[in-house]
Structure 1
């Protein structure tokens, strides 16, 4: 399983990397820039390669031509006693070849003892030779320029050949290789520069995105940073901040309305509940009593809805409540004893599992989870409190029908009720589990539905009190 998980994580990282490269604005800009640059650089470097090779060949050709002409003039004028000694900067290879091209009559030191640079077949009756040759006697190709002399100290019809090695730039594979390496280096530089530049330009957008995600998670009281660039990104930040301000104002009005309405409704509902109970205690005709009992149940359900809405309003506003160390085992024991049928609840309570939270809210969480389990359990409910590393774990499990995997998150949505829940408790509000999760998250915890062979298993995880203290957590911070 660990190998499969590691492979899955590698695939996710690879997919994320490719997505970032090809799907993000930064990645697309980099890829497009590199692609366009590659086309332009290939054309430019190809043309440069051809020009460089042509320039190198022309330079060598001119050098060998000047050398051969100078040697011919010296031989005609009988200078230097017929010695073939190239001057500085001239072609180092000079030969005087016999009329039939088979014998070397004289040669410079660089090529002394070597066969003719040009084969018999190519010399033939040629008067002028100018081109690249690759004699077997030499390791590299050379550029050769040759003139046939009518008369010379070496005889009639001899050939004077001057040869020079091809320069490095004119090498058949070295120049293209150098250009290819240059192309790769330039593309890498362009790609890095584009990625870096676009990233720098989009840094304010990333900061706005991160801050907006944090605001969405933690509340609307903060604003995204304004980069003051006097451009599109500044307008984006200003628009986002204006939207957040309007959202916060609307959220505040919504919370005030829910809170005020809940407060205003509780008194008349309590009065109506009292009058209905008093009416049931009155003697008299019994035909109206079922109707009054039904109205009393509706009143109780309406009161539950109002209480839940008022609690949600407090949770949404993150209204601070005093926190203290709460022993989850003691809390669970007290809550189980309060249930109408505690005999059907089994407990496994590890002592000393202490968290920092508001005890009333923790009781609300456990009470909501137990009420949900009582509605759905067939015969058994199990409450577990234990340590899980640096966290506390509280579980409430039942042996009911359970929750389908695709609906495990839906049960934590406000007013969401599955068909099984409606069948077992038509009077439910659909707010108990959302309230429980909100409370768990306020104190740095989580509440989720875990896998179990049968029924449902709700697991709440909270940081232990000593962990919070070690990390510098404060009571005020956890209560807000």
Structure 2
């Protein structure tokens, strides 16, 4: 019976450690195990090689000791034991392989190792099987004693190799598990301490809701990744809190602005219906049309701001002739008591959305016309990289400390708070959004006539 693939997936997810602390400890344990095992293998090979070299040096020293023990051409029988290794054995061989002398355990036996001509590696003989273990260390030295060539063969059991094997076996069985347990416990504790601020951040974020964005995550006060994460999240929460507050203010202001013309229309109709025979219906209709137009303009402005909030302004860009655009705005502006001057060099063009740019300059011109005493001027200049349009009036001007605030939504200064001014407090906010979407800037300064100069700088 074949298990469904989802069953294996669920099993894998269940077996997979979900905690970062567990995963780090698990991976650290694997890495430590591999590192310790690799280190032990390297140490073992080094120790084995050192043991072999030490044993070979002891056997060569023993061979020199045997050479020095000879009197003339005669070796003592039995040969003296090694002063360095009590288990070492030796035989002195003639060139034909005859045993001339041997240690006590090898006395009377034929050669256990021979040294072939031209070779430095002794060859084991059958006689060695009855008295020597299978694993031995052996050294063969050719020399001349009393004018006679001989071969001194020294041999010993590999007890040092056994000691090395025993030592490393104890390390593998006892030392490695203890070291790994200690290391994993240390990693578990250190990771837990390191992740404790993350858990505090998680609990705080879980408690934060859209209704209350004023809470902030605790900052550990460190300059590491967790400290950067906490500060970044607090900055994000501050931006979200500010955005939510602006949105609530925007909704409240928009509701109020929409309610005012609707209330005026409804009140006029209710009064007329209460006294239909005596009601001035033409006046009621005229006021209703005026309030409906105001309502339509407000809805259009709110839709433009909604497009700005989702980044849909400045779409469908093309080459726009600023001279023709500003001349059209002047021709369609109703201001019989004002003189509106337009001075734009020919072939002054920018790239942008024609409707959005027309709304931008229309809002700035309407704002200038609303406050001007007698004159509004539109001039243009620039350089190879940008175009600058200046819209100036001779009105009362804007205090320097208010020149940034007027770009906020639904902001009307004291001089224009009356509903009769026709201002909704959204014109400059929309102009700012359109300029930003086109990579342009708007700066308000004081005009030479004492009014306001709006300087729009657009990239060519």
Q: TM-score range by the shorter chain?
A: 0.3 to 0.5
Please, what TM-score do these two structures have when normalized by structure 2?
Answer: 0.42
Higher-Rg structure is 2
TM-score between the two structures when normalised by the length of structure 1 = 0.40
